[in-house]
Structure 1
Amino acid sequence: MPPESGSSISDAEWAAFVQESERGIPASAPKEPSARARMVTERLREQESRGAKPGGWRTTAPLHEREERESRRRRRWVFLGLPVVVALAAVAMRPSLLPGDPFGTGEPKAAVSASPLPAETAAPSAAPDSVDPERPTLARPFAGSPAAQWADGEAGIVLPKATPVGSLSKAQVEQALKQTGKLLIDANLDPATLRGGRPETALAVIDPQQKDLLKLLNTALSKPDKDHDPLLMFSRFDPAELRLAGDVVKTRGRMTFKAGERASVVVHADYTFVYPVVRIGKDATTEVERTIIRRVLDVELYDPAEYVVTPGKITVTKYDENIGNSACEIYDGYLHPEFSTTEPTGAPATGPTTDPYDRSQSLDENREAGCGVVSRT
């Protein structure tokens, strides 16, 4: 491909390149010189007839002195160099072909379609691999996140196939699984709950016999403080400050069940939710940040023939959470993700640095007191 007008390659250099290329290309390749090459060659002949000596980097050493020791390297250059010349020409015409748009052309980067992961059936052996450190945008709120391959919302909460357990029938076990799913969905995915609304469905599936738990949750929703924090079970953002970037929350996790010790079925749920949000109101921008929450719940459904319980309702025996990217020591009942363009809020982090996407360990392992920092969002 001949050099374009304005190229820094001289006619002499181009002619020498063509001559060397022809010597390095196998005999089966075409040898007909291009019109540009013939023009350059004719110009060089005219210069020689006038006694003019063309300058250029190839005059620093006679070509015939280097031919023998460089013949192998030259053939390698012809084979590899010509594709590089073509590639460079293509990049010159379309700089956006380079990753990351280094020349600031402003051309939008095409979204990479990530293949969805299969449903999680057991604890992973390690944290997800690192991905390209792309910044999330309104168009691609999960860019640069392992969650790009996770399921969307409720699709990530897959109920296992129910079977009879102890004195409980298949239908009763299935009811326990469905009630647990309802709690998770309403507490972490329902748009009204995320906007700070009251999660009525989640509260309704809990057995009214759990008076202390329901009292704590109701107080936390109406008058949150350090001892009554709704974030222990519900995901909520202040609707006056934040909104979701799009309408998708990414979900990954699993649900299992086993026979309980007291004529019951124990359902174990372990899920991570990823929320991309943007600021609204007086601080509105298009900057997207993500908050990641992992929730672990154990619930039981007791055999009503053996215990005084409300049939069809579940008893929450454990609720634990790990929240990534939310200001420390703020107890107003809302999540407060940190944005890179604003000053940090809340108390300084005192806990360890953790990967919020790491689902390979239980929340009980290596847990340290104090609000920590996340290694990625």
Structure 2
Amino acid sequence: MAELEDPHFAPAPPTERRRLSRRARITLGGGAAVAAVLAVNLGIDDGRDRYEQSIAGQSADGATKVVPGEASREQPWLGSPAATWANGEAGIVLPEARPVGVFSAEQVAEHLRTVRSFLLAANVDPATVKGGRPDRALALLTEPSRSYVDDWLARPTRDSDPALLFSRFDPQRAVPVTDTVKVKGELSFAEGRDGGLTVTTDHSFAYALFPGPEAGKARSSASPAGVVPAAFGNPVFQARVEREVVRRQLEFHFEDPATSGAGPGQTELGRIAASFANNVCEMGNGFLETDFGGTDQEIDTSGRMGDPYDRGTGDIGGAGSCVAVRGT
């Protein structure tokens, strides 16, 4: 296993039982998938307390104060930096529009609103987050992009997983504690190909969840070795609240409608990159699956420890190695 050399990471102890999560990147260009690079992260079960204490200790230096404590259904964001993040739509701030390429300032503003609508429909809409089909988001895509993503939804695999785009939790595995999704990120735009518009987004979405009736249960022959059923009858397990942090870096393209054939209010997908902190590693069924501690695997984690709330790490895609992730 290669070691990730990053100043934002601190050494982690070797070979412990970890919660798994994953990074992925894929690019759609002209409706075609042209690249896919996968990697994995590891989340540490007992890292949460140390992480909360370190965050709280930074408050004297002007950093956001986080009250340490165990998350509950009544206080799902307790102990998390996400407690200070904006709620839903308020976390997707649009820059002031200006003329770009063939588009006027008013048209650019409309395209920016389309991107925001997609992000909300894909990651914040309660119907989507609770496992529903993301039809509102699909309606905002051009036909080539929509066709590819429709195929992902119909036939999800590890390399063409709708979870790369949509935050959907299987209610049998994970249930949102609240409809509130915490959001933090940036959105920018620039002139794209042939005088078009490219919008680039980088947002983190935090979810608070409790176990569904099949949380931690092995998934037939597709399940990785070492996965064991969760303690379904254990009231402590059933009352557990975990947070999952999904970071998405996306590109949206708007081309000259006179030549592209795109409908009003529609966008073409470009680069897609995502990381999932506190999600099981074996993805590919179209849903996110929060790790509540029921998936025990012995994996060498002698690499470095990452911070799911650190948004200064730049590009989240690319070929990486397994690393430990501080508590969510």
TM-score normalised to the size of structure 1?
A: 0.60
Structure 1 segments of 4 or more deviating over 6 A?
Answer: none
- The one-character-per-residue Cα deviations of 1:327-367 (angstroms, maximum 9, x if unpaired) are 1123222222222xx332578476753211111121258x5
Alpha-carbon distance between aligned partners in 1 of 2:260 and 2:287, rounded to the nearest angstrom: 37
Q: Which amino acid aligns with 1:160?
A: P
Match of 1:117 in 2: none
Instruction: Give yes or no for contact 1:329–1:347 (8 Å, CA) kept in 2.
Output: no
Match of 2:312 in 1: 360
Match of 1:343 in 2: 294
- The one-character-per-residue Cα deviations of 1:276-320 (angstroms, maximum 9, x if unpaired) are 100133737221100000111111111223544334321111111
Match of 2:112 in 1: 177
Q: Which amino acid aligns with 1:354?
A: G
Alpha-carbon distance between aligned partners in 1 of 2:73 and 2:260, rounded to the nearest angstrom: 51
When the two chains are superposed, the root-mean-square deviation of aligned CA atoms in Å is: 2.5
Q: 2:140 aligns with which of 191, 205, 209?
A: 205
Alpha-carbon distance between aligned partners in 2 of 1:137 and 1:349, rounded to the nearest angstrom: 31
Alpha-carbon distance between aligned partners in 1 of 2:152 and 2:76, rounded to the nearest angstrom: 30
Flag the structure with more relative contact order, 1 or 2, with Cα contacts below 8 A and sequence separation at least 6.
2
Instruction: Give yes or no for contact 1:263–1:306 (8 Å, CA) kept in 2.
Output: no
Instruction: Give yes or no for contact 2:82–2:206 (8 Å, CA) kept in 1.
Output: yes
Alpha-carbon distance between aligned partners in 1 of 2:120 and 2:296, rounded to the nearest angstrom: 29
Match of 1:234 in 2: 166
Alpha-carbon distance between aligned partners in 2 of 1:132 and 1:214, rounded to the nearest angstrom: 43
Alpha-carbon distance between aligned partners in 2 of 1:261 and 1:220, rounded to the nearest angstrom: 26
**Higher CA-based Rg:** 1
- The one-character-per-residue Cα deviations of 1:162-214 (angstroms, maximum 9, x if unpaired) are 22212211221112101101110011011111121111111111111x2xx43
Number of corresponding residues: 245
DSSP-derived class of the 1:322 partner:
strand
Identity rate, percent: 37
Alpha-carbon distance between aligned partners in 1 of 2:104 and 2:87, rounded to the nearest angstrom: 31
Alpha-carbon distance between aligned partners in 2 of 1:323 and 1:330, rounded to the nearest angstrom: 10
Match of 1:147 in 2: 82
Q: 1:247 aligns with which of 175, 179, 199?
A: 179
Alpha-carbon distance between aligned partners in 2 of 1:167 and 1:349, rounded to the nearest angstrom: 53
Q: 2:255 aligns with which of 302, 312, 317?
A: 302
Q: Which amino acid aligns with 1:153?
A: G
Match of 2:324 in 1: 373
Which ranges of structure 1 fall in alignment gaps of 5 or more residues? Answer: 1-113, 115-127
Match of 1:160 in 2: 95
DSSP-derived class of the 1:338 partner:
coil
Which ranges of structure 2 fall in alignment gaps of 5 or more residues? Answer: 1-55, 57-62, 215-231
Q: Which amino acid aligns with 2:170?
A: D
DSSP-derived class of the 1:267 partner:
strand
Match of 1:214 in 2: 146
Alpha-carbon distance between aligned partners in 2 of 1:364 and 1:240, rounded to the nearest angstrom: 29
Alpha-carbon distance between aligned partners in 2 of 1:223 and 1:237, rounded to the nearest angstrom: 17
DSSP-derived class of the 2:258 partner:
coil
The 1:349–1:197 alpha-carbon spacing in structure 2 relative to 1, beyond 3 Å, is farther
The 1:346–1:235 alpha-carbon spacing in structure 2 relative to 1, beyond 3 Å, is farther
Greater strand share, structure number: 2
Larger mean CA deviation between 163-172 and 292-301 belongs to 163-172
- The one-character-per-residue Cα deviations of 1:248-273 (angstroms, maximum 9, x if unpaired) are 11000121112224111111111100
TM-score normalised to the size of structure 2?
A: 0.68
Alpha-carbon distance between aligned partners in 2 of 1:318 and 1:214, rounded to the nearest angstrom: 15
